[in-house]
């Protein structure tokens, strides 16, 4: 019996980085699945041997989530930097300071030129709440992408500002149709965290 030959895709080549057009992707909307979709892309990219990192802005750095366990097994770097969601902290000055520190890490990771895919989870919330200056964030990303045209970046969070939508290559809006929370079913382990 002859061996089945693996299908060779055009992108599987030595000059991958030189031929790749990095995308700025935004997962937004009021529906569930923004982070989950970004993690799906991380899993796919890690499976192709791409160097990946996820930085979470709002989830508490004191908690461990299911995605941490899974992504670390795949060799994906994960940094959870938040002090908890804004409704947990109740202190805007803490939220702004935490957002600034987390963005500094994002900039550091972008500038290293070591990554193929970066996920900035919940950054869109931070921009919507104006904890960071949108124009400065977009200028930094634009400068980085000009130097590293292969770099893919995914941002997640509700209420993507119009300028971010305009700058992005791909924008997906998750729309809530029905959610178990409205039936009194709260966050489920392995589904939400």
92, part of any domain: yes
Structure tokens at 154: 């995914």
- With respect to residue 100, please indicate whether it lies within any of the assigned structural domains: yes
* Residue 84, in any domain of the structure: yes
- Asked whether residue 180 carries a pLDDT value surpassing 90, the answer given is no
pLDDT bin (cut points 50, 70, 90) of residue 106 is very high
Q: Which of 43, 50, 52, 125 minimizes the C-alpha distance to 84? A: 125
pTM of this structure: 0.85
Q: Indicate whether 9 belongs to any domain.
A: no
Range in 45-49, 118-122, 138-142 with the lowest mean pLDDT: 45-49
**C-alpha–C-alpha distance, residues 76 and 68, integer Å:** 9
CA distance 141 to 146: 9
CA distances to 56, 106, 109, 188 from 71, rounded to whole Å, are 13, 18, 17, 19
For residue 35, give its domain range: 19-173
**For residue 43, is it within any domain?**
yes
Average pLDDT of the segment spanning 58-74: 85
Q: Residue 110 maps to which CATH number?
A: 3.40.50.300
Would 187 be classed as within a structural domain? no
Where does the pLDDT of residue 187 fall: very low under 50, low under 70, confident under 90, or very high at 90 and above?
confident
d(CA 139, CA 117): 19
- Domain total in the chain: 1
Does residue 3 form part of some domain? no
Residue 176: predicted pLDDT: 86
Residue 89 confidence class, pLDDT cut points 50, 70, 90 = low
Domain-embedded: residue 184: no
Distance, CA of 182 to CA of 190 (rounded, Å): 19
The predicted structure's pLDDT at residue 60 = 77
Comparing CA positions, the residue from 57, 53, 68, 149 lying closest to residue 109 is: 53
Determine the pLDDT at residue 33: 94
Cβ-proximal residues to 154 (8 Å cutoff; 6+ apart), any chain: 25, 26, 27, 38, 41, 117, 118, 119, 120
């Amino acid at each position: 019996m002859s061996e089945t030959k693996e299908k060779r895709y055009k992108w599987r080549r030595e000059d991958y980085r030189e031929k790749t057009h990095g995308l700025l992707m935004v997962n937004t909307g009021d529906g569930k699945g923004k982070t989950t979709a970004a993690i799906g892309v991380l899993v796919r990219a890690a499976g192709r041997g791409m160097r990946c990192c996820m930085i979470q802005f709002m989830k508490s750095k004191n908690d461990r989530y299911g995605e941490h366990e899974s992504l670390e097994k795949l060799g994906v770097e994960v940094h959870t930097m938040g002090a908890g969601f804004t409704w947990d902290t109740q202190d805007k000055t803490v939220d702004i300071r935490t957002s600034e520190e987390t963005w500094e890490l994002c900039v550091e990771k972008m500038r290293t030129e070591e990554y193929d895919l970066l996920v900035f989870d919940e950054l869109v919330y931070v921009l919507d709440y104006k904890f960071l200056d949108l124009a400065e964030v977009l200028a930094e990303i634009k400068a980085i992408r000009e130097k590293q045209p292969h770099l893919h970046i995914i941002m997640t969070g509700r209420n993507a500002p119009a300028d971010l939508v305009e700058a992005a290559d791909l924008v997906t809006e998750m729309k809530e149709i029905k959610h178990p929370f409205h039936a009194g079913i709260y966050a489920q382990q392995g589904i939400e965290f």
